[in-house]
Amino acid sequence: MRASKKIYGQKKPRKHLSYYHFNPCEFVPEYTADAGIKTGEKVDYAIMINNESLILIEAKSTNTELSTKHISQLIRYFSVTKAKFGILTNGIVYQFYSDLGEHNKMDTVPFFEFDLFHIRKEAVDELKRFQKDSFNVKSILNSASDLKHMTMVKAVIAEQFKNPSNQLVKALINKNIYGGTKTQSVLDKFNVIIQKAFDEYINDVITERLSSVISPDGILTYTSKEKNDTILTPEEKEVLDFVKDMLDTNLDMKYKKTSRYGYMQLGELSTKWICRVYIRKEQN
């Protein structure tokens, strides 16, 4: 039941993915997870769904750089509960684990990571799967395996960008680029060239994408086939919702619309606008 009265002098609890952290039936701190002969073992937090602890959370301090050495407790708790997901976090980075490799044995590699300092739309879409109202274990696990492999492949790519292996260098400098014998000195020379080529290529892609969304007057715009009118478009609302969530405030924010843009303002004060979103018509 959702309480509307103040709790211990505080306002109505805020929702995080629709879970109330003041509701002990949904969010349990110091959740007891006895492991074998060890009793009184506790995990930092457990999210309860249908009276079962399906999500366990191990929290570290914000100055902790998360690594595999921090998941030993979470692995132990995972195996003795009905949990399907484990989360390791330092309050900024959230690593999501499951038992994709072996049933009831938590993987040592996360299938998904959410970073509050580097929020991407794709990551937000994945995080939405964990909302209480749409939480579905089967649906999440169906995409978790691909996410895990994607994360591992991206890590390999990132390493190759920083330090290309001899195998990659040989593959890239085919006979059309270098037809001579590929000695170690040749590979070392092209290693430097390839690193520079990677950097320049990425910069070119970023520059091209930025030029496509920034208008001549420097205003950030979005491409849309929707016609501008007095009704907020889905794109405008999505961006404004994202900004509002980032502000994480209880202030009264209103969405408004003009013929040129949608915007967010403080209450009814039109002069106190917070954010404007411009939609650019797609050029045919």
Q: Using CA atoms, how far apart are residues 67 and 23, in angstroms rounded to an integer?
A: 31
Q: Using CA atoms, how far apart are residues 169 and 2, in angstroms rounded to an integer?
A: 60
Residue range 9-15: average pLDDT? Answer: 45
250: left (phi over 0), alpha (psi -120 to 50) or beta: alpha
Side by side, the strands of the sheet bearing 112-115 are 27-32, 42-49, 52-59, 85-89, 93-97, 112-115
Residue range 55-81: average pLDDT? Answer: 85
More confident residue, 49 or 219: 49
CB 98 within 8 A of CB 71: no
Q: Is the pLDDT of residue 130 over 90?
A: no
In the structure, what pLDDT confidence band is assigned to residue 283 with cuts at 50, 70 and 90?
A: low
Instruction: Quickly list DSSP for 186-200.
Output: HHHHHHHHHHHHHHH
Structure tokens at 128: 């939405």
Q: What is the mean pLDDT of the chain?
A: 77
Q: What is the pLDDT of residues 213-246, one digit of tens each?
A: 555 555 555 544 444 445 788 888 888 888 877 7
pLDDT of amino acid 89:
92
Q: Using CA atoms, how far apart are residues 90 and 75, in angstroms rounded to an integer?
A: 17
Most confident of 40-54, 157-171, 199-213: 157-171
Q: Using CA atoms, how far apart are residues 133 and 123, in angstroms rounded to an integer?
A: 18
Q: Checking DSSP bridges between strand 269-281 and strand 221-224, what pairing results, if any?
A: parallel
pLDDT of amino acid 38:
55
pLDDT of amino acid 96:
93
Angle formed at CA 187 by CA 182 and CA 192, multiple of 5 degrees: 150
Residue range 65-80: average pLDDT? Answer: 83
Return the axis-axis angle of helices 137-162 and 184-213, rounded to nearest 10°.
Answer: 120
Q: Is the pLDDT of residue 192 over 60?
A: yes
In the structure, what pLDDT confidence band is assigned to residue 1 with cuts at 50, 70 and 90?
A: very low
In the structure, what pLDDT confidence band is assigned to residue 210 with cuts at 50, 70 and 90?
A: low
pLDDT of amino acid 93:
92
